[in-house]
Amino acid sequence: MNEFKVYDIKTAPSDSRTDLEKIKHDHGNIPNVYAVMAESPQLLKAHVATRELFNKTTLSKQDRKIVLLAVSRELGSAYDMAVHSGAAEKHNVPAEVIEGVRSGSALKDKKLESLRSFTTHVVKKHGEVAETEVKTFLDAGYTRANVLEIVLAVGMVTWTSYTSQIAKIKLDHEFEPKVWKKAS
């Protein structure tokens, strides 16, 4: 059995400790996915840096939360869906928008639906989206920078998604109310 260790600040490889301390400061604790990622200081550092960069993108806070949810859903990551659902709720993303993304349903708000749909296509098609899909996204009021910011989010969520799935990470207690299972 491939058992991955869940580290804390004291037991983590020394090169991961500073990042775990930063995560603990930012979150109030160390979510299990980061505690496992600590095994590879490079992965943990890359994720922390990418998350900081994604939070500085030109997408609004609400848009960023929707993107993270849409990527998590398409990757089939129950762990990430729970985490990002809770974060979206904390950042005042309307419940019907969160539930729409979680279920893969079209959103009533046309601009947000364009964001959800385009993000979904990027993941499903491994980046090979049609020019018409990009045009529809841009026509909804988004920018070419936003297209590339979605690519950044896909990479970031892929790291946590794959880590949680490979390591069979137990969902943190705080995220259990947002548990999610992809429909068959």
Indicate whether 158 pLDDT > 90. yes
Read off the pLDDT band of 176 (50, 70, 90).
confident
* Per-residue model confidence (pLDDT) at position 45: 97
Q: What is the CATH number of domain 61-157?
A: 1.20.1290.10
The single-letter code of the amino acid at 60 is S
Is residue 83 within 8 A of residue 175, CB to CB? The reply is: yes
Domain ranges of the chain: 14-54, 61-157
Q: Cα–Cα distance between 161 and 137 in angstroms, integer?
A: 25
Token duo for residue 31 = 């979510």
Q: Is the pLDDT of residue 21 over 80?
A: yes
- Kindly indicate the confidence band of residue 183, based on its pLDDT and cuts at 50, 70 and 90: low
Question: How far apart are the C-alpha atoms of 107 and 117, rounded to whole Å?
Answer: 9
Give me the count of residues in the chain: 184
Mean pLDDT of 110-117: 98
Tell me which residue has tokens 């991961």: 16
Write down the pLDDT at residue 179.
83
Model confidence at 17, in pLDDT bands (50, 70, 90)? very high
d(CA 60, CA 91): 11
Render the chain in DSSP notation, one character per residue: --PPP---TTTS-HHHHHHHHHHHHHHSS--HHHHHHTTSHHHHHHHHHHHHHHTTSSS-HHHHHHHHHHHHHHHT-HHHHHHHHHHHHHTT--HHHHHHHHHTPPPSSHHHHHHHHHHHHHHHTTT---HHHHHHHHHTT--HHHHHHHHHHHHHHHHHHHHHHHHTPPPPGGGGGG------
Query: 159-171: b or e for each residue (b if 16 or more CB lie within 10 Å)?
Result: bbbebbeebebeb
Q: Tell me the mean pLDDT in the region 151-160.
A: 97
d(CA 64, CA 57): 8
How far is it, in rounded angstroms, from Cα 61 to Cα 39?
Answer: 30
Q: Give me the pLDDT at residue 2, please.
A: 67
